[in-house]
Amino acid sequence: MSAEDTHRSVEVAARVERRWAAIAVIIIVGMALLAAFAGIHQATMPQPRVETTDPSRIHLSGEFVESNLGSVLETNGNVTVRAIGQQYSFTPACIVVPVDTPITLRATSADVVHGILIQGTNVNTMLVPGYVSEQLMRFTRTGDYLMPCQEFCSFGHEGMWGKVKVIDKTDFANRAKSGGRLSCVGQ
């Protein structure tokens, strides 16, 4: 190979390489923009605020006392669900909610790190003791969904399975009439 040939082949190599690098950068910038667009436009954002709570006192006062756990129909027609995870169960163990309704899940842990995952949906959040997790959800069909704890919480982790019962809107409204907090436990 003459000196000139070498020079040309170096140039070709550099050019091909630059093109590939440019394609790679475009792919990555495109992905980040897509995520930003979906986040802002379709409001698919993780929880924006950080809220704290003392796990050693949640059973005594505040939002997560036992009588306040479960589903509640708010005056604007939305539903709020409050739940806690502890070794090795959720309270309530079965959550009842109406279909086609905006639902706010607020949950925390009473001891170690747990997680809530509702199978067949995108509902998936961590329960970290000391902090409140909030997640918005909406179910489009009625039925029973499994809700396992998705984070290792010591030896009983594999036994920590909750349930979500999604029922008809009017059924839920009827049951909510008497006030108080709803759950499907004992039904």
Partner 1 sequence: MLVNRKLILAHFWFAFAVFGVALTLGAWQMFIRSPIGTWLSNPELYYRSLTAHGTVMGYVFPTLVAMGFGYAISESALEQRLVGVRWAWTGFWLIVLGSVMAMIPIALGRASVLYTFYPPLIGNLFYYLGVVLVVVGSWIWVALMSINLRVWRKAHPGATVPLAMYANVAGSYLWAWTAVGAALELLLQIIPVAAGLKNTIDAGLARIFFSWTLHAIVYFWLVPTYIAYYTIVPRAIGGRVYSDTMARIAFILFLVVAMPIGIHHTFADPQVGAGFKFIHSAFTALVALPTLLTVFTICASVEIAARLRGGRGMFGWIRALPWDNPMMLALAFSFVMLGFGGAGGLINMSYQLDASIHNTQWITGHFHLIFGGAIVIMYFAIAYDLWPHLTGRELIDLRLIRTQLWFWFVGMIVTTFPWHWVGILGMPRRMAYFDFGDPAIAPQALSVTFSAIGGFILLTSGIMFIVILARGMRAPQADAGAYRFAVAVHQPTTVPVALNTHALWVALMIALTITNYGYPILNLATTAGTSVPAVYVGAQ
Residues that bind partner 1 (CB under 8 A): 6, 9-10, 13, 16-17, 20-21, 24-25, 27-28, 31-32, 35-36, 38-39, 44-52, 54-56, 87, 111-113, 115, 117-120, 122-134, 144, 146, 148-158
CB atoms within 10 A of CB 145: 19
Residue number with CB closer to partner 1 (17 or 100):
17
Residue number with CB closer to partner 1 (92 or 129):
129
- Cα 184 from chain centroid? 21
Residue 113 CB, nearest approach to partner 1 (Å): 6
- Residue 77 has phi, psi (to 5 degrees) of 90, -10
Residue number with CB closer to partner 1 (44 or 68):
44
Residue number with CB closer to partner 1 (98 or 115):
115
User: What is each CA distance from 12 to 9, 18, 20, 21, in whole angstroms?
Assistant: 5, 10, 12, 14
Contacts of 124 (CB under 8 A, 6+ apart): 115, 116, 117, 118, 150
Residue 162 CB, nearest approach to partner 1 (Å): 12
